[in-house]
Amino acid sequence: MILALDFPSGDLDELLNGLRDYVVGVKVGFPLALAIGWEGIAELVSRHEHYYWIADFKLADIPDVVEHILGRFKEMGMDAAIIHLFTGHRRYETGLELIGVAGMSHPQAKLIRENFVKLLEEAELLNVMGIVVGATRPEMIREARRRLPDVQIFSPGVGFQGAEPGSALEAGASFEIVGRSILRSEDPVEAARSVVEAQRVILHGER
Ligand code: BMP
């Protein structure tokens, strides 16, 4: 599971230390940057380097600007960054892995949904490492997996937005992204443990 670290409360280091057994990566974006600043994020990354860090600012600018930003993210210790695919990009030499938005989890993402196949084609053309496809749309995950068998599929929308833990993995996603249902829980570690257990039960019938 990837943790969407948008709205944490309490001590961030304690949280990240506590989640090590259940979380492989941490996704950060504007909510955290606005709360603790770029420096704060860079310092957090440097204290928790074992996590796979994803900069989720859904970049959608001209390639020269995107490349500059990706370079700065790399300096901050990020491992990957999320870009929008609809603006068009070139292949960037920044050392960061790229994840393109192909489908979104919210019902209003109509234009993105209508252009899903074109966005998958763009992802293939750019040879991105991964794509985002909302967990609330398992049929889109299946379609993406069928068309792009080797791409990593990251699926947000689990828990708070309604998708059941494990359901996106079952449809072919590589990682589920979970935020508020863990961060807003009284006991985030227990909430993360129960997500992972539900994933295991769905995928392997294990307890
Ligand atoms: P939550 O589990 O709290 O709903 O968080 C989901 C996270 O995934 C948020 O960081 C959100 O920005 C992101 N996300 C999403 O929910 N749907 C998408 O289609 C794409 C996203 O990046």
Q: Give 10-residue mean pLDDT values along the chain (207 residues).
A: 94 98 98 97 98 98 98 98 96 96 97 98 98 98 98 98 97 98 97 97 83
CA of 186 to the centre of ligand 1 (A): 20
The domain over range 2-204 is classified in CATH as 1.10.1200.10: no
| Token pair recorded at residue 80 | 């990957």
Cα dihedral across residues 129, 43, 57, 153: positive or negative: positive
Has 74 been annotated as catalytic? no
Find the length of the chain.
Answer: 207
1 Cα to the center of ligand 1, angstroms? 13
**CB of 105 shorter than 6 A to ligand 1:** yes
CA distances from 112 to 72, 115, 135 (A): 28, 5, 15
Q: Which helix (H) or strand (E) holds 144?
A: helix 138-147
Closest CA to 151 of 169, 135, 132, 129: 129
| pLDDT at site 205 | 86
Please enumerate in sequence order all residues whose Cβ is within 8 A of that of 148, keeping only pairs 6 or more positions apart, or say none.
120, 123, 124, 131
Domain ranges in the chain? 2-204
